Amino acid sequence: MRLIAISKLREAAACYPDVSNQIEDFYETIKKAQWKNLIDIQKTFSTAEAVGNFTVINIKGNSYRLILNINYKKQLIFFKYFLTHADYDKDKWKNDNHYQS
């Protein structure tokens, strides 16, 4: 899989230095992945879930949420949001044009 854009993910996570190792581990993992569906992702990230058109992955013991838009056919992952659990629960990210419930 190819992540679009790792630089934006790193920038969003830079405010939270306690998670930098997990972000880099995530990036290394997805570069090797060839996921075909959500079930494949859950084999690697058991907490991954589909929410609307996005895939949400818990990072660092559910302290943070990584929100992605995934095109399995093209093997592309589009970074959308990196949020604390509290910010995720506010649901503002659901105002994104690509989100549909």
Question: Which of the residues in the chain have pLDDT under 70?
Answer: 101
Nearest C-alpha neighbor of 81 from the set 69, 90, 72: 69
Which residue in the block uniquely carries the two structure tokens 């949420």? 65
pLDDT (0 to 100) of residue 101? 60
Q: What residue spans define the domains of the chain?
A: 2-95
Q: Are 94 and 19 in contact (CB under 8 A)?
A: no
Domain 2-95 has CATH 1.10.3470: no
CA distances from 36 to 21, 51, 55, 69, 98 (A): 26, 17, 13, 13, 20
| Predicted local distance difference test score (pLDDT) of residue 98 | 84
Q: What is the pLDDT of residue 73?
A: 97
Q: What is the pLDDT of residue 99?
A: 84
Using CA atoms, how far apart are residues 1 and 74, in angstroms rounded to an integer? Answer: 8
**pLDDT attached to residue 61:** 87
Output the pLDDT for position 29.
96
